[in-house]
Chains A and B, each alone.
Chain A
Amino acid sequence: MKPTRVMLTAASTLLVSQVMAGEAVFYITEDGMSMRDVAVSVDGQKQLIGNTGFVSFDIDAGNHSVELSKYGEWLGEFQFSTENGEQNAEIQVDVLGGEALEDVVVYTPGQEEAPALGQISGYLNSEETGGAVAGASVSIAGTDMAVVTDEEGFFSFELPRGEYEVAIAHPNYGQREVDGVRVMGNVNTGVNLTLGMSGNGVIEEVVAVGSYIPSTATAQERDSSAVLDAIGSEQMARFGDSSAASALKRVAGVSVAGGQFAIIRGMAGRYISSTLNGSLMPSTDPMRRDVPLDLFPASVLGGIDIQKSFTPDLPGDSTGGAIRMSTKGMPEFTGGKASVKLGMNSRTTFSDVNSYEGGSTDWMGVDDGTREEPSFANSFTDGGYDVPTFITGAERVELTQSFDHNYGVQQVEAKPARGFSVSYGKLMEGDESTHGMYSAFSYSDKWTARHNAEINDTSEEGTYERTKRNIDLAGYFYYGIEDANNLWQSKTILLRKTDNTTKTSNTRDEGKDQELNQTLLQWVERQYLGQQFSGTHYFGDDTLEWRAGIAQTSRYEPDRRTYTYGRALGTSNDFAFQGTVERRYSDLTENTYDIGADYTSEYLFDTWAWKNKFGFSYTTKNREVELARYANRAVTSSSVDTTASLDEIFSDTNVDNGTVTFTGTTTATDSYDADEEVVAVHGSSELDMDSVSVLAGLRYESITQELDYPNKADSQNTLEESYVLPALSANWRVTEDSQLRASITQTVSRPGITERSESVQYDPDTDKPLTGNADLEISKINNLDLRGEYYFSEEESVTVALFYKDVDKPIERQVLDADGSAAEGYTYDNVNSAELKGLEADFRLNVLDTDRLSGFVSGNFAWVDSEVDLTGTNAERLEGASSRALQGQSEFLGNLQLGLDDYESGQSLTLLVNYFDERIYATSRGDLGPVMEDGRTTFDLVYSYDFSDDLKIKAKASNITDEPVTYSRDGRTLESYYVGTDFDASVEYQF
């Protein structure tokens, strides 16, 4: 939910709880920051300033003398006078360089022409998740002022001086009241709160971190120019979402393909940008630029923003949206958490599933060397690419012997899912600054399987079994230093995800008149390792934010083994080994260096504010993919019984006497190097005129992409281009509880680095040939966005957004002119144009609100219509259609959440429904329609019980209805399988 600032201009009409007697209020700052432990003595009466930063005295008319000291050390003294008992005094003292400079304002309450204004602002954080609490309603008792906290948990009010009571309400965290919050003229009172889900109550302590501000106008104007959605970590926790991928699909207009890649507003990978803590993300997928989001576990994520309209501070390819992930920041308190998790799947757990013999450290998700490419094979054949031309028979035997010939599939019992996580945060508050550290570690081990999987294509029908064991490891370390004007942060992230896959299929191929048994053994370790430093510095009204990061992603896939056995269709012969067993070793490493800075300055003119933001970023990525293939040469000896198992065919005897031999089969384009450099400079200016604000800005990007094949020197490809992207947006706060936003922007979509290849490359996932298109151009997109928000109560709201996008020369994946096995592949081309229009609606309603129980319904809905114009292109001839929808675009997407909270017992229950409509999975040739991934509805139920202050129990049932996953074409189901219902339970202990 976008930060909702309901404008507070009619201050004079507000009812304020007034102080009745003469009073002197002191607020002491040091270099602008609230100062504590100062002893204030007025006319001999002495009080100590505590955490609130305020202290007040009853005073009579006359002269008053003030003395300030800290720990017995004299700070300063001064005098002031009041004329009568009605008069109050506001005294701000700023200690600058050891000298106390007082500013005394004497006034008579109720008799001021325009009461001086101050601010209350602060951040709400969750005790449970450590992250921000977004979407909480914050109101000022006795007034009709209310705001909703933004994705950072931030809220802010501008109020006449006085003392107020702040009320906070959130469906998960309940209600809180903070009494006696002081507002002084020109002072921002900070109210930073940590909320637990443990019940309602009055908060005893308000920590003032606010600073003296020289003007009454809003110093904390939030960036409200963009259409933004956010998922806070508390929401992820509530919905039981375990990774960025599962959390994202809860957002209006967002769906996730293959559990990994986001589709925003019907636009997939190339139209989405992803950043982590502001830095561009490297991918672990050799064929894609977009980031597999399942890599980011909830345990390290602080929140995710999905900004759907472009602003100049975002990467230029943020067309559908920008996914901005941030990891956890400064801890809110000192303490730790430990949790254990156990889960089972209704179909998989305890059933017999496919597996194969691995290494001794498989349980850690780390191959112990069992699958490592034999070093002899690697060096003798240059990674399978260059087998010596005059290789001898003895060398062939030696090459074959260097492999461990182990191919068998076993049945094992799938174990329950297990996992644990520990985290510890420490907050060290000093006089000058606060230091905080946070570290987290988590591990999980889970088996998943596809059940009753069926294939029913035109020429191929059959069944398959696919089992995956997923082992995830995450480690995170944060260190931050914060003082009045500065925040320095260091974030160290290690994420690992290992998938061990065994797939066996039995298909009947009408085209080949054969029945085939195919086997795949695959081990993939994906890893993200990153170190980032960042800082935020305040210079009066100006802010400088910078970041510098280095990250390495890798994908290590050693010894992927594939082989086929077959027999004549309709016979009961023994299956015979056919063709080759391929052993493939691939290793991707991508290094990213990223630096960037943004400078925000603000000028205030009476009630107008003018904000400027400038920044630059420089990112360079280098990707190296090394892939080696080895396969046996055709088995022609009549002494080999090809109906025996592979382990027998490749027996020591057959290997040693050279009856069966291996050779290198790596292609020239299997290994590649890719470099990408993006230099960006952006500037924007925003003018806030009471109820209307307008932002205009430009982003300049210069990109260089270079693709090199070490084994194929003549296929180098370079793309160099620079462009300027304009953005214009306006925000109109129509009333206190509604606003309208509109924007018109331009973005780009770049070809993926391997898509401009001059050669054929094999898709590592499907082994299908991908024919590059060296002529691919950058496409330009014009975006139009309109969004209205209406808050009809403190917690309830409706948002409606409309968008229109016009893509010039979109890059589409398509079938190509090709023959034989090349025709199974695909290529990319710039087609004429594409047009998208859509509508999104978001709502939240409270349906139950008693002292004990509260219930809400929230949800979102998106309708997207897209049309790609293929007229006159190769695609029109090959697909037999002059237009179609964008690939991956669903017409309808929806989410519904029903929540029920019992405050007293600390229990909550949430039902989540997610729906996506059918979308194009792949286009087809000739008379066939495109292959569609069929629409699907999933139901999840999450239960949480705060057993005590330290102990919390959580349970989740996901995919309750267990609808089959299906793919179809022209209404014929081509593939279907079931994944089962997951039941997970976790116990969390806080210490």
Chain B
Amino acid sequence: MELKKSYLAVAIAAATLVGCGSDSSDSNDNDSNNNETGTYSFLSCETESQCVITGTIDEDFTMSSDVQYVLDGLVKVGYGNIAFTSDSDVTTAKNNGVTLTIEPGTDVRGADDGVLIVTRGSKLMAEGTAEAPITFSSLSDEDFDGLGEWGGVILQGLATQYGAGNTGACYGDGSICNVQGEGGDGVGFYGGNEDGDNSGVLKYVRIAEAGKVAGPNNEVNGLTLMGVGHGTTIDYIQVHNNLDDGIEWFGGTVNVTHAVLTGNDDDDIDFDTGYKGNIQYALVVKNADLTAPSGSNDPRGIEANSSDDEYVPQTEGALANITLVGAAVTEGQYGMRLRGSLTTRIYNTAVVNWESCIRVDDSDTDGDDTVDSYSNVTLVNIVGDCAPDGMYTKRDADVATNVVEADIDLDAAAALTSANGELTEAPAMTAVDNGSGFAFDATSYVGAVAPGTAAADAWWAGWVIEGSLDNVANQDDPATTFAAE
């Protein structure tokens, strides 16, 4: 364990240095592009308007909106992704946590191998505004059309992860937890037993063209939330044209609201391994121009848990006001695939243009071809417009209230224009009690956007990537290419 200790020692030393030169971060805020590169080992600026970040951001740092920052290789915030062996390692990591602040309107670019990882104990403060959202995209071009042109953003926290195969909380009988994350050799470890952990704020943040990192078949999510606690705020987030999932939660408790997930090649909302949380207002729109996934992907709107022997009965998600819009690329796929003995409640949600709206799977946990453990799915106010297979594949929900198959029409705001979009009253929506005290907004409509909203007034309007939702009104008819087999 010598090396880990030395990491921590470095982190402590770095923190101490920062503490001594207390004006360094302030001066950086003011003119980070102005001859400041010498003070940060991870920063190099060729010009006044472009700086390259490499290695570990080991002291508090602010990205300024008048500079384009290039993530070159795996960029880590803090040293919290090494394996912890004791509670004091956890305390040390928190005490020495690093905060990366990104100013509204900042343009962050990933090189081919660029990835941003915010490790345990550290924070990402990315608070954009509707007028000046923060954008992560690829360095290789100025558009947002590509897929997998850089890595993505990974947040790692100290909240609980439950292992596949019902192996329980990763800390077992103790309190220390080190979960190896996916996404390559530098991802390292995350997890713990602090469900209220805070990894910062992501607000009005757009992540585009990400999803590929080094290594064999290593596709990663636009935004990966690994054991992220509910102290973290994620609101108004877009993941566009990601080669893998839009947002994937591995365990953790962080709630997400106002998500726009467009053109992603794999799933859009993917929660797994004991995620306990709530998601409200999410708009998922698949790329209408593709006929097959570009990556090794199986695109679904919502994918919860993994199949059979990888079941995690602790996974529990409550979702409300979700609109899932498929395309030709989703042939053979489901708007939602709910499996692995999860518990989920889904409210006021529309599913259109998938081969089948919802597939519910129970778990054969020991490979003997018989079901040993069941998923628990509650659906309230679901409108589905899926062909040829209709609402359900495999089996119906355990509890279904007002689940209807009907023609769905969307307008330019991505709101339902058909009569079934409006509800007579807002249903009671039970949030997952993950300690955050989250309560759903009461909504008396189906879908992510209230019917009747003008496109310019929709909650997504103005800050999402330009053009990324332009075509949504034309994607509400089941693709004729989904031939029945």
User: What residues make up the interface of A, taking CB atoms closer than 8 Å to B?
Assistant: 385-387, 389-391, 396, 457-459, 510-514, 562, 564, 566-573, 576, 578-580, 582, 584, 629, 633-636, 638, 642-643, 663-669, 712, 714-717, 758-762, 767, 769, 771, 774-775, 816-823, 825, 827, 872, 874, 877-878, 880, 924-929, 969-970, 972
Interface bits B184-200 vs A (CB < 8 Å: 1, else 0): 11110001000000000
Contacts of B250 in A (CB 8 A): 819-820
B240 vs chain A, min Cβ distance (A) = 13
Q: Among B186, B273, B298, which residue has its beta carbon within 8 angstroms of that of A514? A: B298
Contacts of B113 in A (CB 8 A): 386-387, 664-665
CB of A760 within 8 A of CB of B179, answer no
A479 to B197, CA, bound (A): 72
A824 to B7, CA, bound (A): 28
**Apart from A633-B146, A664-B113, A717-B3, what are 9 other A-B pairs with CB-CB below 8 Å?**
A386-B113, A514-B332, A567-B332, A569-B332, A633-B212, A664-B112, A822-B181, A825-B180, A877-B172
CB of B148 within 8 A of CB of A633, answer yes
Interface presence of B65 (CB below 8 A): no
Q: Among B70, B179, B372, B483, which residue has its beta carbon within 8 angstroms of that of A389? A: B70
A212 vs chain B, min Cβ distance (A) = 61
Interface presence of B295 (CB below 8 A): yes
Of B95-103, B302-310, B407-415, B420-428, the one contacting chain A is B302-310
CB of B184 within 8 A of CB of A667, answer yes
Interface bits B350-381 vs A (CB < 8 Å: 1, else 0): 00000100000000111110001000000000
CB of A818 within 8 A of CB of B215, answer no
A510 to B180, CA, bound (A): 25
| A and B contact pairs by CB, cutoff 8 A, 22 listed | A387-B112, A458-B309, A512-B298, A513-B332, A568-B333, A578-B297, A582-B216, A634-B147, A634-B149, A636-B290, A759-B185, A760-B180, A760-B185, A774-B3, A818-B180, A820-B272, A825-B180, A927-B165, A927-B366, A927-B372, A928-B165, A928-B365
A820 to B366, CA, bound (A): 20
User: What residues make up the interface of B, taking CB atoms closer than 8 Å to A?
Assistant: 1, 3-4, 7, 52, 70, 72-74, 83, 85, 111-113, 139-140, 145-149, 161, 163-168, 170, 172-173, 177-187, 191, 211-219, 226, 243, 248, 250-251, 265, 272-273, 289-298, 306-311, 331-334, 355, 364-368, 372, 483, 485
Contacts of B334 in A (CB 8 A): 513
Contacts of B226 in A (CB 8 A): 819
Q: Among A636, A668, A769, which residue has its beta carbon within 8 angstroms of that of B180? A: A769
CB of B161 within 8 A of CB of A817, answer yes
CB of B218 within 8 A of CB of A925, answer no
CB of A823 within 8 A of CB of B364, answer no
B74 vs chain A, min Cβ distance (A) = 8
A377 vs chain B, min Cβ distance (A) = 14
Contacts of B290 in A (CB 8 A): 636, 638
B354 vs chain A, min Cβ distance (A) = 11
Contacts of A582 in B (CB 8 A): 216-217
Tell me the nearest residue of chain A to B220, going by C-beta. Answer: A820
The 3 A-B residue pairs with the shortest CB-CB distance in the complex, in nearest-first order: A926-B165, A568-B332, A820-B182
Contacts of A825 in B (CB 8 A): 180
A713 to B425, CA, bound (A): 61
Contacts of B365 in A (CB 8 A): 926-928
Q: Among B147, B184, B191, B364, which residue has its beta carbon within 8 angstroms of that of A760? A: B184
CB of B309 within 8 A of CB of A774, answer no
Q: Which of A580, A664, A825 has the most CB of B within 10 A?
A: A580
CB of B218 within 8 A of CB of A821, answer yes
Contacts of A667 in B (CB 8 A): 184-186, 214-215
Q: Given that A578-B295, A633-B212, A927-B166 are known contacts, is A391 also in contact with B140, CB under 8 Å in the complex?
A: yes
Q: Given that A667-B184, A927-B372 are known contacts, is A387 also in contact with B212, CB under 8 Å in the complex?
A: no
CB of B294 within 8 A of CB of A819, answer no
Tell me the nearest residue of chain A to B266, going by C-beta. Answer: A512
Contacts of B273 in A (CB 8 A): 819
Contacts of B167 in A (CB 8 A): 877-878, 880, 925-926
B169 vs chain A, min Cβ distance (A) = 9
Tell me the nearest residue of chain B to A816, going by C-beta. Answer: B180
Q: Given that A579-B219, A874-B172, A877-B172 are known contacts, is A827 also in contact with B367, CB under 8 Å in the complex?
A: no
Q: Given that A634-B147, A874-B172 are known contacts, is A629 also in contact with B180, CB under 8 Å in the complex?
A: no
Contacts of A972 in B (CB 8 A): 367-368
Contacts of A929 in B (CB 8 A): 366
Contacts of A823 in B (CB 8 A): 164, 180, 182, 310
Q: Given that A570-B332, A819-B250, A819-B251 are known contacts, is A771 also in contact with B309, CB under 8 Å in the complex?
A: no
Q: Among B187, B217, B309, which residue has its beta carbon within 8 angstroms of that of A822? A: B187
Contacts of B292 in A (CB 8 A): 566-567, 576, 578, 642-643
A817 to B180, CA, bound (A): 6
Contacts of B251 in A (CB 8 A): 819
B394 vs chain A, min Cβ distance (A) = 11
A216 to B272, CA, bound (A): 80
Q: Which of A636, A715, A822 has the most CB of B within 10 A?
A: A636
Contacts of A827 in B (CB 8 A): 180
A385 to B215, CA, bound (A): 10
CB of A634 within 8 A of CB of B168, answer no
A323 vs chain B, min Cβ distance (A) = 33
A260 vs chain B, min Cβ distance (A) = 23
Q: Given that A458-B364, A668-B186 are known contacts, is A579 also in contact with B180, CB under 8 Å in the complex?
A: no
Q: Given that A629-B214, A775-B1 are known contacts, is A571 also in contact with B185, CB under 8 Å in the complex?
A: no
A459 to B306, CA, bound (A): 10
Contacts of B164 in A (CB 8 A): 819, 823, 925-926
A771 vs chain B, min Cβ distance (A) = 5
A567 to B296, CA, bound (A): 10
Q: Given that A458-B364, A566-B296 are known contacts, is A636 also in contact with B145, CB under 8 Å in the complex?
A: yes
Q: Among B111, B161, B289, which residue has its beta carbon within 8 angstroms of that of A819? A: B161
A513 to B184, CA, bound (A): 25
A771 to B148, CA, bound (A): 25
A390 to B332, CA, bound (A): 39
A28 vs chain B, min Cβ distance (A) = 69
CB of B297 within 8 A of CB of A634, answer no
A712 to B185, CA, bound (A): 10
Q: Which of A396, A665, A712, A775 has the most CB of B within 10 A?
A: A665
Contacts of B170 in A (CB 8 A): 817
A375 vs chain B, min Cβ distance (A) = 20
Tell me the nearest residue of chain B to A564, going by C-beta. Answer: B296
A390 to B50, CA, bound (A): 12
Q: Among B4, B70, B294, which residue has its beta carbon within 8 angstroms of that of A636? A: B294
CB of B367 within 8 A of CB of A822, answer no
Contacts of A566 in B (CB 8 A): 292-293, 296
Contacts of A767 in B (CB 8 A): 216-217
A767 to B170, CA, bound (A): 25
Q: Which of B163, B178, B183, B333 has the most CB of A within 10 A?
A: B163
Contacts of B3 in A (CB 8 A): 714-717, 758, 774
Contacts of B185 in A (CB 8 A): 667-669, 712, 759-762, 769
Tell me the nearest residue of chain B to A821, going by C-beta. Answer: B182
A232 to B295, CA, bound (A): 55
A751 to B97, CA, bound (A): 33
Q: Among B73, B146, B161, B355, which residue has its beta carbon within 8 angstroms of that of A634? A: B146
A860 to B215, CA, bound (A): 47
A666 to B306, CA, bound (A): 29
Q: Among A513, A572, A636, A771, which residue has its beta carbon within 8 angstroms of that of B298? A: A513
A709 to B66, CA, bound (A): 37
Q: Among A459, A759, A880, which residue has its beta carbon within 8 angstroms of that of B308? A: A459
Q: Given that A767-B216, A927-B365, A970-B368 are known contacts, is A759 also in contact with B72, CB under 8 Å in the complex?
A: no
